[in-house]
Structure 1
Amino acid sequence: MTTEAADSSSAEIVTHSATSIPAHMAAVLLTGHGGLDRLEYRTDVPVPTARSGEVLVNVRAAGVNNTDINTRVGWYSKSVNSGTSDGLDTSDAESVVSSGDSSDAPWSGASLAFPRIQGADVCGVIMAVGGGIAPARIGERVLLRSMAPVRDVDESLVPFEFTTLGAERDGGFAQFVVADSVDAIAVDSDWSDVELGSIPCASSTAENMLRRAQVGAERVLITGASGGVGSALVQLASRRGAEVIAVCSAAKSDAVRELGASRVVDRDGDLLTELGSNSIDVVADLVAGPQWPGLLDVLRPGGRYVTSGAIAGPITELDVRSLYLKDLSLLGATYQPPHVFTDLVGYVERDEIRPIVATTLPLSEIADAQREFMSKRHVGKIVLVPPPVP
């Protein structure tokens, strides 16, 4: 049914398991680019097999992320100019995808193989291991890297190349998922499965943005601060000793302050009027869109701008004079060195951050979960829970 389950003949398979693994599982299949009607909940999907170097994980919780929806509708295609909240439901999504060539719709720039099981967040338990992996790993509670660095034949990293869980390979919207053993990171924490399932994608994205911008004890402006990545940015920047100024809707300001923001600015306000020119050391932006030029106005000379999203629209206007006269640095943040995720797991284990779970729903209600996600009424993460394995 899926790529991983169907093609297992090309690699050595020596599997050890602590218990019998069912032949089929519940999973959500993405059958093509488009609306919510492209998400098909099934209970007869073949359980994938752990090949050499891999582990089979029973998914206990999987968070919903922007990338799940963006990939489904083909938003990453260069032919799409709208924001991520535009045209994302069943009827309008078809026009988003058909407006251009959907072959570059995933963020990797390569065509997506269908059907695909999405889900970049996974908290689960290792149930079986493939050849070359110690059977002692069975029973470990793990978080899976959302973005796994590509390794060469000699195990060295290929610079800026990665595979994304739920895009280039099947992800966590299922009862079982296969991952490379090196990308299944054991976690020792008293957090619930749902709480842990809220962490991998959004929090690693946030930590990577802060790493790229080398954020320390300085003044940081965070846009989209109430979402999954934004709320993680607030916590993780505060952890680094930064003074956090957050941008979000007025209705969510109290919740964002509780996460560590020292000041909250209404997203509909004028940043230059609210903050003044040259007042911010680092901008961590997830919004872009029409108000983007104002972010450069508030950066001090020598300031840094880092982004990993464009929910208000990817096309902006740049006055190049602002860039060079103020000696600004503009940084993108997608590729994650391996230590970003292991550092994050350490923060969890030491309770240096806390989970922000807005809603939990059964995996079978994924359409409702994505509708709620798109409404942007929540703070933090929406997490899906697959049915327990008998």
Structure 2
Amino acid sequence: MRAVVITGHGGLDVIEVRDVPVPGPRPGEVLVRVHAAGCNNTDLWTREGSYGAAEDPDIKTGWLGPLDFPRVQGADVVGTVVASGDEASAGLVGSRVLVDPAEYDGPGPDARPADVLGSERDGGFAEYVVVPSTSAHRVDGSPLTDVELACLPIAYGTALGMLERGSVSEGRTVLVTGASGGVGLAAVQLAHARGARVVAVCSGDKGEAVRGAGADVVVDRRRGEVLADAAEAAPSGYDAVVDVAAGASVGPGLELLNPGGRWVVAGALDGWAVEIDVRRLYLSNLALVGSTMHTPRIFDRLVEIARRGDVRPVVAATFRLEEVGRAQAQLARRQHVGKLIVVP
């Protein structure tokens, strides 16, 4: 089969297209023929090795530590099960499935990701991929296309996790940063679907598309007055901030939150080093919450959303398998709205 691998940490030059053997499923696993696989910022950061470590923020590593190479990236997979490793999972053969990219640190519904497809194990930028049978969720009747379904696992799972941890519900007011990107746009759509009032931060040229996804107000970050404009957009304050940018705005941005509000962060596009006045946190009973991906409970909810077609993911562009490098280059430029999808 054809697969796209990274041979180490580095630039686009470490991406290679190779012919490799089709993997065989072991007991408890299934073989999925990949119909579509989504691109994520995690693909860039994993390839670049930009996650760092507590003891050395500048060390080249994956998000959970050192990686084995070559590695097939691609965490967002939708496809058809074509083989099973045992009789217990044979009933999945022939099913259209959405794959949960995470393996977890425990059996409970609120367990945390401890291993991710395309990072700790080979992923979906290939014609076939092996996954645990418990990670393959049937979506045969979903009204969403394969390309739309491939938008969901990382971006929408992360966004849904952020909304859950931010207690975003009907009637709440939420600020979403990076609203034209994969996670940000997913958060806009999902928060709108919950009945929240959504103020979205993005560059002005993407405002119409973000408003079309469900934003009530769009704040143009290019004006350079994001916090002031966000405050004007919600004079009564925010119940939650869903933040994929972080950076210097976090500290002063806490003033936007109502007492008891939650600032949920799942990215650091504007910088990972922040400074806050901790008195603001405890005097107003605020919560600064880190949020990585999803839990089994949240992914189950995402699968139900996918089966019903409650949201229609925005697809910016599709690419052939041989164009993964071009897709990652476009992703890094951040000039698009929505998701970039690889179609083997």
Question: Structure 2 length normalisation: TM-score?
Answer: 0.93
1:182-331 aligned within 5 A: 182-187=134-139, 188-217=141-170, 218-268=172-222, 269-276=224-231, 279-331=237-289
CA deviation map 1:65-99 (0-9, x unaligned): 00000011011114899xxxxxxxxxxxxxxxxx9
Matches of 2:249 and 2:59, distance apart in 1: 28
3-state SS of paired residue (1:370): helix
User: Could you tell me which residue of structure 1 aligns to residue 115 of structure 2?
Assistant: 163
Q: Which deviates more from structure 2 when the two are superposed, residues 365-374 or residues 285-294?
A: 285-294
Aligned equivalents of 1:197, 1:271: Cα separation in 2: 32
Compared CA separation, residues 274 and 301, structure 1 to 2 (3 A): same
Query: Could you say which residue in structure 2 is the equivalent of 1:123?
Result: 78
For the residues of structure 1 that align with 2:311 and 2:127, how far apart are their CA atoms?
Answer: 27
Aligned match of 1:173: 125
Residues 166-218 of structure 1 show CA distances to partners (whole Å, capped at 9, x for unaligned) of 11111111111111111111112132211111111101110111111221120
Greater mean alpha carbon deviation, residues 276-285 or residues 349-358: 276-285
CA contact (8 A) 1:230 1:286 kept: yes
State whether residues 225 and 246 of structure 1, in contact with CA within 8 Å, keep that contact through their aligned partners in structure 2: yes
Structure 1, residues 198-248: CA drift from partner, whole Å, max 9, x if none? Answer: 111101110111111221120000000000111100011111111000000
Preserved contact between residue 143 and residue 308 of structure 2 (Cα < 8 Å): no
Residue of structure 1 in register with 2:310 after alignment: 352
Q: In the alignment, is the contact (CA less than 8 A) between 1:146 and 1:164 conserved in 2?
A: yes
> Aligned ranges for residues 44-59 of structure 1 at < 5 Å?
44-59=19-34
For these two proteins, the number of residue pairs brought into alignment is: 338
Asked if 1:37 corresponds to 2:39, the answer is: no
Could you report, residue by residue, the CA deviation over 1:349-382 in whole angstroms, capped at 9, with x for unpaired residues? 2221001000001010111111111111110000
Gaps of 5+ in 2: none
**What is the TM-score when the length of structure 1 is the normalising length?**
0.83
Counterparts of 2:7 and 2:55 in 1: how far apart (Å)? 20
- Alpha carbon RMSD of aligned pairs, Å? 1.9
Please report how far the alpha carbon of residue 300 of structure 1 lies from its aligned counterpart in structure 2 after TM superposition.
1.2
CA distance in 1, matches of 2:225, 2:131: 45
In structure 2, what is the Cα distance between the partners aligned to 1:198 and 1:271? 28
In the TM superposition, residue 146 of structure 1 has moved relative to its aligned partner by 2.1
Instruction: Say if 1:283 and 1:295, in contact at 8 Å, map to a contact too.
Output: no
Change (3 A) 1:252 1:72: same
User: For residues 157 and 282 of structure 1, what CA distance do their matches in structure 2 show?
Assistant: 24
Question: Residue type of the partner of 1:185?
Answer: H
The residue number in structure 2 matching 1:376 is 334
Residue identity matched to 1:241: G
Distance 1:293 1:158 in 2: 29
Aligned sequence identity (%): 47
* Matches of 1:323 and 1:106, distance apart in 2: 31
- The secondary structure found in structure 1 opposite 2:269 is coil
**C-alpha contact 2:173 2:239 (8 A) present in aligned 1:** yes
Aligned-pair CA distance for 1:335 = 5.3
What corresponds to 2:69 in structure 1? Answer: 114
| Matching residue's letter, 1:35 | G
